[in-house]
Chain A
C-alpha cells in the first residue's frame, strides 16, 4: 500500500484490464440503480392498460390454455394423469422466468448502445436488473400457480406437493445462473456478430421444446432420450414440477451436474461480459 497522497488515485483508466477481474465493489455502489432499472422494466408494462398488473398473469394463463388445446386436446400428449392446466403451469412459469431473464440479458449491449455511449456505470447492472424484474414477474405468476393448486386441491384432484418444495430456491438460483450466464455470453458475442440476435428467438424456442415443459420425461422415446439427458435444464424443470405436484422424477446426481454446469456457464458469462463491456461501444 503506497501512502504517498500523490499516488492515491480514486480511479485509474488503462487500456487492458483483465476479464477475470470483477468489480463487485463498484457494482455494489450502484445498487440504487438496479432497483430503478427493475422499476423501469416493470412499471411501463401496465401503464395505460385496462387490466393493469393483471397482464403479468394473463400471459401464462393464455399460454397454458393454448398448450392445453394443442398439446393436450389435439396431440393428446399425456400429463402424468394430472389436469393439463395444473401440469403445464409450473413448467411454463419457470420457463417464462428463464426465457425473460435470458432474453433481457442477451440484448444488453445492442439494446442500450445509446446509453452506454454516454454514461458509465457497471454494465452488469442491466442483466441483473433484467433478472430481478423477471423474478418479480415469476413471483406474481407463482401466486397464480398456488391459487390454482388450491382450487384443484379443494375440488379433489390428487397431487402431492412435498418437502421438496424447500429445494425450489436452489432450483431458481440454478435457472438464474443459466439465464444470466447464457444471456451474457450471447450479449457479448452479439456486439461483434449480430447474426446471433436473429437466431435467438428460434434458439430459445428450440430449447423450450427440448425441455420437459409440455410433456413428462417419461414419454420421451428412447432414441431422443439423449436430448433431455444432455439438456442441463431438464432435471431442473423436472424437479420443479416434482416438488409442486409430486409427479415425474427427481434425479439428484443429474441435478448436481446441472448445478455445476450452471455455475460454470455463469462464470464464463461473467468473463465474456466483462471483456465485451470494455470494447462493446467501439464494435456495436
Chain B
C-alpha cells in the first residue's frame, strides 16, 4: 500500500506568443468591457504543457526526462509554484521544496553566515531549522574559515559550494531537484551527487529529479516520467523510461539518402550509400551514451568492377569542425574486398565511446588501393551524444568542459615511494 504524495491531473500551461505591449492594453480594456474576444481561438497561444496527469507515491524517486522544450522546466515551475498552471490541478501532501537554483537571494555584501540564514529562509526553512543544520551546512561547504566574510570576497567555487550546501540541507518531505545543481570542482560535484543520492534514498522522502543524464537518472531514481512536446509520453519504471527516451531520440542522425549526395570527391569506384548507429544488441539508436559500446554501420556500394584493398576511414568533428579523432581500418591492418556491384556492410564497434554530451559530425572517406574513391565533404551524418557512465562508477566528471574522456589505470609504485 503506497500513499500518494503528488497527484497531477490534466495539467496544462499555455504561453502567449509575441510581445505584451501597447496592444495588450487595448485588449485588456476590451476584455474589461466584456467584448467577447475570448471566444475566438487564439492562434498565438502555445501549449508548453498539456493534458499531463500522473501520480507519485510517497518515497518514490522520480526521474523526469525529455528533450529541451519537452516541458520539464514548465512542470517544475508549476510544481514549485513560481508560475500558475492554465488548466488542471496539482495536489500535494507534505512540505515541498524545490532546488531549481542554488544561492537564490544571496547578497554579496552579507557574510556567509548571514547568507545561509537568508537563503535558507527564502527556500522555506524556519530559523530553528537553519540553526539546527548550520554546522552541517558549514561543514559540507568547506568554507568555515570564511563564514564571517562577505560572500563577494569568496572565490566562485566557494560561493557555489556554500550555496549548494544550504540547499542540500533542506528538510522537506518532497524535493524537486534540477541536476545542473551539481556544481563546483570534481570533488565537490561528487559530493553533490552523493548528497542527492542520500537525499533521494532517505526514508520516506519523495524526490523529483530532472536531468539530461541517463546515467545519473538511473542511479538516483526508481520511477520515471518521459515528457515529449509538452505531453506525458510515458510513466513507469526508470528502466522503461530511459529505454524509451534513448529509443525516441532518433531525430538527429541525418537520413538524407547518402547515395544521392553530390558533395563528394573521388573516383567513385566504391561509394558510401548508408550510415546509421546501433547498440551492441543490434537496435538502431540515434542517441549515444558516453561510455557505451557503439556500433557504427556503413553500407558501401561497389561499382561494376571487383574492388580490393578497400580502406574505410571515419572521423568525428566537434561543432566548430575541429577534428576530434580519426580511425582508418588500415590503421588496424583491416582491408575489405567487394564483388562487382556488391553492397558491402561494414560495421565497426567503438568500445567505451569516449565523447561527451553534444552533437558531432561523422566524416567518412573510402580509399581503394590507396586512391581516394569516395569522400563526403559535408560528412556522412550527425550523432547525438548524451552523458553516460563512462568510468563505470556512476561519476560523470566535468562532462561539460571537455569533449573527450579517457580512462587510466592507477598505481602507486611502492619501490620508488621510499
Point out residues on A near B: beta carbons under 8 Å.
Answer: 6, 8-15, 17, 29-30, 32-33, 36-37, 39-40, 43-44, 47-48, 114-121, 192-193, 278-279, 281-283
Contact = CB atoms under 8 A, between A and B. Distances in A.
Contacts of A12: 89-92
7 nearest CB pairs, A to B: A44-B109, A120-B81, A13-B90, A33-B121, A11-B92, A118-B101, A9-B91
A278 B93 contact: no
Nearest to B178: A118
Interface of B: 4, 7, 15, 20, 24-25, 28, 77-96, 98, 100-101, 104-105, 107, 109-110, 114, 117-118, 121-124, 126-127, 150
Contacts of B4: 6
Contacts of B93: 8-11
A117 B82 contact: yes
Given A39-B118, A40-B105, A44-B110, 4 more contacts: A14-B89, A47-B150, A118-B100, A192-B28
A129 B121 CA distance: 14
A11 B91 contact: yes
A225 to B, nearest CB: 34
Nearest to A118: B101
B89 A120 contact: no
B15 to A, nearest CB: 7
Contacts of B100: 118-119
A9 B92 contact: yes
A6 to B, nearest CB: 7
B24 A192 contact: yes
B14 to A, nearest CB: 10
Given A33-B122, A115-B104, A119-B80, A43 B110 contact: yes
A278 B84 contact: yes
A119 B82 contact: yes
Contact of B84 (A32, A119, A279): A279
A283 B107 contact: no
Contacts of B126: 29, 32
A217 B112 CA distance: 51
Contacts of A283: 20
Contact of B117 (A8, A36, A192, A193): A36
A120 B121 contact: no
B122 A119 contact: yes
Given A6-B4, A10-B92, A15 B122 contact: no
A72 to B, nearest CB: 37
15 contacts: A6-B4, A10-B94, A11-B93, A13-B84, A13-B85, A13-B90, A14-B84, A44-B109, A119-B101, A120-B80, A121-B124, A192-B20, A278-B84, A281-B77, A281-B83
B122 A115 contact: yes
A12 B100 CA distance: 20
A112 to B, nearest CB: 9
Given A43-B110, A44-B110, A282-B83, A13 B89 contact: yes
A121 B28 CA distance: 28
Contact of A32 (B25, B88, B91, B121): B121
B107 A44 contact: yes
Nearest to B24: A192
Nearest to B108: A44
Given A8-B93, A43-B109, A36 B121 contact: yes
B266 to A, nearest CB: 54
A193 B4 CA distance: 42
A47 B89 CA distance: 46
A83 B88 CA distance: 66
B104 A118 contact: yes
A260 B98 CA distance: 41
A138 B123 CA distance: 30
Contacts of B121: 30, 32-33, 36
Contacts of A40: 105, 107, 110, 114, 118
A16 to B, nearest CB: 8
B114 A43 contact: yes
Nearest to B12: A15
Contacts of B15: 282
Nearest to B129: A32
Contacts of B123: 119
Given A9-B93, A12-B89, A40-B110, A119 B98 contact: yes
Given A10-B92, A32-B121, A33-B122, A15 B109 contact: no
B90 to A, nearest CB: 4
Contacts of B127: 32
A279 B95 CA distance: 23
Contacts of B79: 13
A38 to B, nearest CB: 11
A257 to B, nearest CB: 28
Given A44-B107, A44-B109, A120 B84 contact: no
A175 to B, nearest CB: 27
Given A192-B24, A282-B83, A47 B90 contact: no
Contacts of B101: 118-119
Contacts of A9: 7, 91-93
A47 B104 contact: no
